[in-house]
């Protein structure tokens, strides 16, 4: 009698199917964990930036617009996705607020903001905002942008 050794085709297919299913589940869980970590980093960075801005605003009794001297730090280079010039502009603007280095978002691009409070007049009560372009790096899309609205400082007199 001859003894055959090895696996049947059905056994191999079942094994490969199980490995494939486990791989898909593992990749999905890993992607979800990565996205959660990125979102947590964005929220942590927003909090740190807001605290630095709030310290500068309350110490100097000025709005973010008055601190940076720019009505829109993210206009131009940032809104056209010119990240090199945007990083330079945002780093300069952030250095007028704090000595802390400008953090980069989880995708390696600068966070940017728009100084709105008191920009056009003392009664201009629009909120300042800090934003990230999100994973696609396009500032012109709204679906994946992360935005934090800074509470009004009240240093404009009319708000």
Which tens digit of pLDDT belongs to each residue from 87-128?
Answer: 888 888 999 999 999 899 998 888 888 888 888 888 888 899
What mean pLDDT is predicted for residues 32-61? 92
Residues 63 and 155: beta-carbon distance below 8 Å = yes
4 inside domain: no
Domain assignment of residue 6, yes or no: no
Q: Which residues contact 4 (CB under 8 A, 6 or more apart)?
A: none
Q: Provide the number of structural domains found in the chain.
A: 1
Assigned domain for 142 exists: yes
Q: Is residue 23 part of a domain?
A: no
Residues 6+ apart with CB under 8 A from 6: none
CA distance 143 to 139: 10
What DSSP state is assigned to residue 79? T
In a domain, 136, yes or no: yes
- Asked, for residue 9, whether it belongs to a domain, the answer is no
Residue 48 resides in a domain: yes
Mean pLDDT across the stretch 56-77? 87
Quote the pTM value. Answer: 0.77
pLDDT at 43: 92
Distance from CA of residue 36 to its chain's centroid? 13
Please report which helix (H) or strand (E) contains residue 113, including its range: strand 112-114
Give a yes or no: residue 155 inside a domain.
no
Confidence of residue 144 (pLDDT cuts 50, 70, 90): low
Higher pLDDT, 2 or 43: 43
Are 76 and 51 spatial neighbours (Cβ–Cβ below 8 Å)?
A: no
Residue ranges making up the domain that contains 126: 39-150
State the CATH number of the domain containing residue 88. Answer: 3.30.700
Give yes or no for residue 145 having a pLDDT over 70: no
């Amino acid at each position: 009698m001859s003894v055959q050794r090895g696996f049947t085709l059905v056994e191999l297919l079942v094994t490969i199917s199980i490995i494939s299913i486990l791989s898909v589940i593992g990749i999905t869980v890993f992607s979800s964990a990565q996205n959660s970590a990125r979102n947590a980093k964005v929220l942590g960075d927003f909090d740190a930036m807001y605290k630095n801005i709030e310290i500068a605003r309350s110490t100097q009794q000025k709005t973010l617009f008055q601190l940076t001297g720019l009505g829109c730090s993210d206009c131009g280079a940032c809104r056209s996705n010119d990240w090199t010039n945007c990083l330079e502009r945002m780093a300069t603007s952030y250095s007028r607020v704090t000595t802390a280095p400008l953090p980069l978002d989880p995708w390696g691009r600068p966070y940017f903001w728009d100084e709105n409070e008191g920009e056009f007049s003392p009664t201009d009560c629009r909120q300042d905002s800090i934003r990230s372009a999100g994973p696609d790096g396009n500032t012109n899309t709204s679906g994946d942008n992360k935005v934090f609205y800074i509470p009004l400082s009240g240093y404009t007199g009319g708000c």
